[in-house]
A and B are shown apart, each in its own frame.
Chain A
């Protein structure tokens, strides 16, 4: 099991980064959809 620490750190970095990226994308998407709804509402109120 020599070098197991290197392998584990590589796997942790890969999976944390990929899951983090997907999470960040979904957060950004949710915020954009909220902004679109708010702006549409604002515009319709302005007539």
Chain B
């Protein structure tokens, strides 16, 4: 029931964001139409960071409590985070090509983001190579905790080093009026969408565990 509510709210908000980004918001005068990518690029990055924070938090929860639910949350969130960070990198590359004339530049924000992407790919490789459920969850939790340490580095990379990536000054220097409203609608929509995906993903991980247990029971009864 709650998942259905989350689905309908996030669908409505995502449709509203689509309308606002394509129709409602005015074209930025310096960068032109390509600047509209920004309204999705920033929420994609925000959700990726949020998802990895949830992985970090749930991984600590798992190591303390050893309850499978924490591992299901961590694993579901890592999957969503990987989808969102992949989209963040792709949209960033498209924007970079339009703004800087190159798809990729080895500057601190882009490089640390790519390292983060590799860390969460490694999270799934580690899980795939371990068969036993408890060890899989434990190893995943360790990678989830260590991997999160790169997130603050990605976030602060624009202030720690000289980079070509623009700093996040929208909240200090101010996007005004309709531009700020559009960004806020996109952020809220993506947050709802994330929690919907997290609820579905967590439930699915629990069901996958049930399938495994039922298979084991079936083999035990009929070896």
- Using C-beta atoms within 8 Å of the partner chain, give the interface range for chain B: 35 or more
Q: Check if B200 sits within 8 Å of A25, measured CB to CB.
A: yes
What total count of A-B pairs have CB within 8 Å? 83
Bound form: Cα–Cα A22–B53 in Å: 22
Instruction: Write the nearest CB–CB distance from B87 to chain A, whole angstroms.
Output: 6
Instruction: Write the nearest CB–CB distance from A9 to chain B, whole angstroms.
Output: 6
Q: Check if A10 sits within 8 Å of B211, measured CB to CB.
A: no
Query: How many residues from A make CB contacts under 8 Å with B?
Result: 29
| Chain B 205-223 interface mask (CB, 8 Å, partner A; 1/0) | 0011011001101100110
Q: What residue of chain B has the Cβ atom nearest to residue A28's Cβ? A: B204
A residues 6-44 touching B (CB-CB < 8 Å): 6-7, 9-11, 13-15, 17-18, 21-22, 25, 28-29, 32-33, 35-36, 39-40, 42-43
Q: Check if A2 sits within 8 Å of B32, measured CB to CB.
A: yes
Question: Is B36 interfacial (CB-CB < 8 Å)?
Answer: yes
Q: Check if A9 sits within 8 Å of B94, measured CB to CB.
A: yes
| Chain B 154-170 interface mask (CB, 8 Å, partner A; 1/0) | 00000000000000000
Q: Check if B34 sits within 8 Å of A14, measured CB to CB.
A: no
A interface vs B, CB < 8 Å?
Answer: 1-4, 6-7, 9-11, 13-15, 17-18, 21-22, 25, 28-29, 32-33, 35-36, 39-40, 42-43, 46-47
